[in-house]
Structure 1
């Protein structure tokens, strides 16, 4: 079950790209999403995460590395659905 969640998130991310590919701000959308995930991943791997508390085995970091990209993909997919609806309504 846990291994299927990143696959679903990747599928949602790819589907959201296809939904907004005709949008005039597509490249801004793509670059912004990539930078958000990159900055978050670097911060999670190398930053001080004091809000986790004592994380002896690194399970908090590992959980954050799975949870944020999945949440980001779901929010991005919802945003892509809204943008796609506006694109199709304006045609």
Structure 2
């Protein structure tokens, strides 16, 4: 079995209004050294071993469901579990 961690965030060219709101709150708290905050999504997925490549399966899921590929980018980490 594999454990997969998927991180989805807006592309750098896309405005992140939630991130901007959090940055404003952080600044009001006195942390003015913070330059940027981006909000994203995090997924933990358990995948059984099959004949298909795990990377192929995860990329299909990300492209079709987890990320809006027009506005978001994703990365993932795969670990083999006992």
> By percentage of residues, which structure has more helix?
1
Q: TM-score, normalised by structure 2?
A: 0.33
> By percentage of residues, which structure has more strand?
2
Q: TM-score, normalised by structure 1?
A: 0.31
